[in-house]
């Protein structure tokens, strides 16, 4: 029978890929939401999703850590955890005005970075990275309401108040707390490919990639009603990627004019309807390249890109690589996914 082997000559079991260790540095008063966002992305999702990450927290002085939510977190591990981290994560960093970041924490983070660990700041966590000198001369993101303060306190940092996140490879920062999910899923895509990130996003009931910029979330003058949610239309479109859909058809579906629909996309997502739909088609293409052996021509029809020639052109425009090269680099069976 297929798969049978004699007990005296056991077949060696395949080695599981080493888990990528993510260590979050906490400090009172700890923001709970950015910590929860990172925990959801990097925690164990089994049995639905194969484990690729190990997540833990540490603090300078182990013990109860006060949170902004009114309860304490019991953190039993000190900064020595950073010595074994593959990614050091700062999930928000609430400092009283004028307060300095602990020199002990800065030294530990710098050592981890020099050793090769990736250092990630979510929301106000960018302030800690800036204090450590890891953002000098680099673009960085933080919450739009704190962008001016970050730029003032650390003029050597090129603060971008518009983007959801900035990734330099060794250092990454995100905008407001929820954008931490965008950044963490982006890091998962970079580590293990789009298909694996999509599986985590589905577990979280989140889009695997959110378009636009954080300026759409900044406070604006209340001069008129907030635009209606695009969620029903986006869900409808996501289920019809294999079909040609025009902006006019989207507008009819939403019961608005094409001009109004385009304006809503620009206001809420920062891109046009056509761009959003193309990005979804590219994301679906990436997942199929990673998870299946389907020919490019078949994938093109499944994602609504009409032909292999069109898919290759669009794919190269978006990712600066070919479908074949992408498949070789990110085939899911290369990393032992179930």
Confidence of residue 210 (pLDDT cuts 50, 70, 90): low
Q: Any alpha helices (H) in 17-153, and if so which ranges?
A: 32-42, 103-115, 125-131, 147-153
Residue 42 sits in the same domain as residue 173: yes
Torsion angle (degrees, nearest 10) of CA 338, 294, 283, 172: 50
The pLDDT score that the predictor gives to residue 110 is 97
Residue 297 sits in the same domain as residue 175: no
pLDDT digits (tens, 9 = 90+) for 5-53: 233 333 343 445 689 999 999 999 999 999 998 999 998 877 878 889 9
The span from the CA of 135 to the CA of 18, in Å, is: 29
CA nearest to 57, candidates 29, 38, 33? 38
Sequence-distant (≥ 6) Cβ neighbours of residue 210 within 8 angstroms: 164, 182
- Is 157:140 a contact under the CB 8 Å cutoff? yes
The pLDDT score that the predictor gives to residue 296 is 95
Bridge partners of residue 72, in order along the sequence: 66
Residue 94 sits in the same domain as residue 38: yes
pTM as predicted: 0.63
Residue 225 sits in the same domain as residue 114: no
Residue 182 sits in the same domain as residue 228: no
The pLDDT score that the predictor gives to residue 96 is 60
Structural domain of 328: 221-335
Residue 207 has pLDDT above 80, yes or no: no
The span from the CA of 58 to the CA of 75, in Å, is: 6
Domain with 259 in it: what CATH number?
1.10.10.60
């Amino acid at each position: 029978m297929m798969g049978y082997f004699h007990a005296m000559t056991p077949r060696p079991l395949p080695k599981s890929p080493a888990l990528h260790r993510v260590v979050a540095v906490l400090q009172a008063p700890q923001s709970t939401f950015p910590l929860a966002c990172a925990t959801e992305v990097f925690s164990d999702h089994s049995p639905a999703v194969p484990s690729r990450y190990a997540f833990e927290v540490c603090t300078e002085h182990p013990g109860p850590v006060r949170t902004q939510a009114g309860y304490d977190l019991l953190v039993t591990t000190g900064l020595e955890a950073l010595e074994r981290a593959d990614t050091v994560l700062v999930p928000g960093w609430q400092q009283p005005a004028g307060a300095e970041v602990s020199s002990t924490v800065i030294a530990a983070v710098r050592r981890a970075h020099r050793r090769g660990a990736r250092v990630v700041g979510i929301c106000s966590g960018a302030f800690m990275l800036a204090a450590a000198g890891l953002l000098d001369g680099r673009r960085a993101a933080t919450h739009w309401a704190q962008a001016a303060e970050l730029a003032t306190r650390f003029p050597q940092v090129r603060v971008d108040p518009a983007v959801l996140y900035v990734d330099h490879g060794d250092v990454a920062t995100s905008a407001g707390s929820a954008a931490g999910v965008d950044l963490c899923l982006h890091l998962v895509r970079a580590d293990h490919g789009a298909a694996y990130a999509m599986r985590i996003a589905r577990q979280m009931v989140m889009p695997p990639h959110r378009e636009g910029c954080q300026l759409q979330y900044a406070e604006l003058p209340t001069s008129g009603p907030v635009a209606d949610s695009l969620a029903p239309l986006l869900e409808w479109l996501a289920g019809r990627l294999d079909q040609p859909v025009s902006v006019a058809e989207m507008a009819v579906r939403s019961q608005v004019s094409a001009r109004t629909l385009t304006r809503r996309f620009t206001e809420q997502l920062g891109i046009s309807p056509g761009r959003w739909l193309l990005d979804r088609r590219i994301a679906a293409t990436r997942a199929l390249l990673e998870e299946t052996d389907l020919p490019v021509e078949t994938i093109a029809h499944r994602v609504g890109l009409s032909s292999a020639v069109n898919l290759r052109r669009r794919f190269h425009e978006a990712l600066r690589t070919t479908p074949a090269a992408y498949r070789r680099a990110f085939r899911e069976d290369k990393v032992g996914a179930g």
